[in-house]
Amino acid sequence: MACAGVARAAEESRPGLLLPDPTLPAIALAPSPSPPPGLPRLDAEPPQHVPARLPDLQSSRTPAEGADPFLSYPRLEDIYVPRARPGYVDQGVTYLLDSRRTISSAVSLMGERMDAYFAGDHSWDTENDTYLRLRLSQKWIEGGHLEPELDYKFRLDLPGTKQRYRLVLAYQEDNEQTLEERERSSETARPPEERSLFAGLLRTLGDESGNWETKLSAGVKVKLPPDPFVRSSGKRLFSIGDFWEFRFQSILEWFNSSGVHAGTDFIFERIVAQQFLFRAGTYLDWRDEKDTLEFGQKFSLFQDLGPRDAIGYHLGIFGNSYSHSQIDTYYISADYRRDLYKDWLYMNVVPELAFPREEDFTGVASLTVSFEIFFR
């Protein structure tokens, strides 16, 4: 009896088990407030139909595609446009550009590697001037005579071999060229008749302003038997007043095979207009082997046509004094030069009217066209 009383008392004291008292009046619940406009009621019934917001892919399918959803995407053949095959001209240009780039890299790499081999760590401190130049020229002379020429010039520069001297290997114009061949426009645009391989050490002295420069070199002309040489050249620039400049250039060299050769140039320059430069040059050249003094006088007017074009107009006289002074050639010419592509492809056009002694000073017209390609 005692246990039954304890159980009844525990049930009466347990929380959460309150039963409604039938003697109390009923309480009516207030309706929930209306939600703001645009929001659904919490006690609203769920919608019976939700309109589709995605495009109806089923209606865009073709009967052949069936129900596979991946077939509704664009196919590769629908958007791929085959690239047109380049023509023969484009293929040729691409081949030339690739070939030039390959040769230039090989020439530059050869110079750097040889310089590094001889100079060690000092090879990376100076700039390397190694280059290869190819020149193709065609000269037409009055009367239908054509003179095609193919020429190349190579220079291997090893500046790091010494701190003050640099080793140079060059295949270039022979030292026995005449003054007219070096200074006349139609001759300089053509390849020289003779070339030689020179190897030696070169040292350059000068000031920071660039008003004077001296070059000292010694080496050997590679042939059988070898021909040793010593050479010194220099230039000096002077300002005359506010408009004129005077440039003095000289060279003195000795070859074991031909003896002493000396040359001197006196050049006056003045800017006469915004894009015009006037130049008057007097040239002297003496060779011990022939005991001959060559001389020349040339007047030039240079015009800057643009960033890639320039033209020079020349009037010149050349002669010699082997036994007595005489004039060999009068000439008038124009020298047009254009940078065709990225500072490595050039074109030269030189129309000329010459009056040589061997033609009894009768006018002979000529046209020289040449192309130069530099690999560096």
List, in order, residues 6 or more apart from 108 with CB less than 8 Å away: 128, 130, 376
Cα atoms found within 13 Å of the Cα of residue 80, Cβ hemisphere only: 4
**Dist. CA 171–CA 152, nearest whole Å:** 8
List, in order, residues 6 or more apart from 152 with CB less than 8 Å away: 132, 133, 134, 135, 171
**Dist. CA 354–CA 282, nearest whole Å:** 19
CB 318 within 8 A of CB 294: yes
Q: First vs last Cα of the chain: how many Å apart?
A: 120
Model pLDDT, residue 331: 96
Other Cβ atoms closer than 10 A to 170: 18
**Tokens 């022979």 -> residue:** 174
Other Cβ atoms closer than 10 A to 207: 8
**Dist. CA 340–CA 275, nearest whole Å:** 21
Model pLDDT, residue 328: 93
- Beta strand pairing call for 145-158 and 309-320: unpaired
Indicate the SS3 state at residue 15.
coil
Beta bridge partners of 293: 286
Model pLDDT, residue 16: 45
**Dist. CA 74–CA 82, nearest whole Å:** 17
Model pLDDT, residue 197: 84
Beta bridge partners of 270: 244, 278
Model pLDDT, residue 190: 60
Indicate the SS3 state at residue 123.
helix
Model pLDDT, residue 18: 47
Model pLDDT, residue 252: 95
> Alpha-carbon torsion 11, 13, 18, 21, what sign?
positive
**Where do the domains of the chain lie, and which CATH numbers do they carry?**
90-375 (2.40.160.40)
Q: Tens of pLDDT along the chain (376 residues)?
A: 444 444 444 444 444 444 455 554 554 444 555 555 555 554 555 555 544 454 444 444 454 445 555 555 656 556 666 666 777 777 776 777 777 778 777 766 666 665 554 454 444 445 667 778 888 888 898 877 787 777 777 777 766 555 567 778 787 777 778 888 888 877 765 656 667 888 888 888 887 777 888 999 999 998 888 899 999 999 999 999 888 999 999 999 999 988 999 999 999 999 998 889 999 999 999 988 888 899 999 999 999 998 899 999 999 999 998 777 899 999 999 999 999 988 888 999 999 999 999 989 999 999 999 998 888 7
What are the structure tokens assigned to 192, written together?
Answer: 């020289």
Model pLDDT, residue 350: 93
Model pLDDT, residue 164: 62
Beta bridge partners of 166: 202
Model pLDDT, residue 17: 43
Model pLDDT, residue 82: 63
**Dist. CA 370–CA 326, nearest whole Å:** 31
- Give tens-digit pLDDT for 294-304: 999 999 999 99
> What does pTM read for this prediction?
0.66
Report the helix count and the strand count for the chain, using DSSP H and E.
6, 14
